Homo-oligomer: A and B are copies of this chain.
């Protein structure tokens, strides 16, 4: 058996957003590796081993997946959304950097629908012009760098998508992020909170920055801030193309 490693995105939650490319790879895999709730999305079958691990164990998970592929297994590392956006693809390459012997392995990254695109589609088209995507977690970078990026993104007039806005271990930072954004973008700027997008628990709420409160976000929420031209039309929110 010739081993391979696929790092795949399962999309935001709804199986109707899993690409056929990913579904085909799942059917051929011998091992599924990932964070517990993502591995739980893969249907068990005979011959398929499921290796679920906790959050913040990305490097161990990546090394384990590479080691199994090197032994000849067909291994899939699964992320929600897209594996290249604040997910497992970078961790796999970090592990690969430390282990040159594994660099000749058959490694493929399969894209997926990342949360901000699914959220934007549900809300309308708030990312309809130049935008940025920022991970608000400071687990892997200093918080002042996050604030620096928020201010520059506001100055650039980008719409912004925020991943990992708030967690139990970081309850205060999203409040600070909202303060910075209010200062830079003003009270009337539209902000959309998209929780558990495309799942039965989905909840999409658009308010102004003046109305936004930190408890509108949790770890299952992706947040989208409009640019200065973003506006409502009927039940939708969108950013014009000439902004």
Residue numbers of A with Cβ under 8 A of B are 11, 14-21, 24, 58, 82-86, 89-94, 96-97, 100, 103-104, 107-114, 117-118, 120-122, 124-135, 140-141, 145, 148-149, 152-153, 155-158, 233-236, 238-243
Q: Could you tell me the distance in whole angstroms from the C-beta of A186 to the nearest C-beta in chain B?
A: 18
Residue of B whose beta carbon sits closest to that of A100? B234
Residue of B whose beta carbon sits closest to that of A19? B17
Work out how many copies of this chain go into the complex.
Answer: 2
Interface centre among A91, A130, A157 (most CB of B within 10 A): A130
Q: Could you tell me the distance in whole angstroms from the C-beta of A87 to the nearest C-beta in chain B?
A: 8
A243 to B134 CA separation, bound complex (whole angstroms): 11
Q: Could you tell me the distance in whole angstroms from the C-beta of A176 to the nearest C-beta in chain B?
A: 17
Q: A111-B118, A149-B130 are in contact. Are A238 and B89 (CB under 8 A)?
A: yes
Chain B residues within an 8 Å CB radius of A130: 132-135, 149
Q: Could you tell me the distance in whole angstroms from the C-beta of A16 to the nearest C-beta in chain B?
A: 4
Per a CB cutoff under 8 Å, which of B58, B97, B156, B236 touches A148? B156
Chain B residues within an 8 Å CB radius of A86: 128-129, 241
Interface centre among A125, A145, A238 (most CB of B within 10 A): A125
Chain B residues within an 8 Å CB radius of A120: 84, 109, 111
Per a CB cutoff under 8 Å, which of B17, B155, B239, B242 touches A141? B242
A107 to B234 CA separation, bound complex (whole angstroms): 11
Chain B residues within an 8 Å CB radius of A122: 109
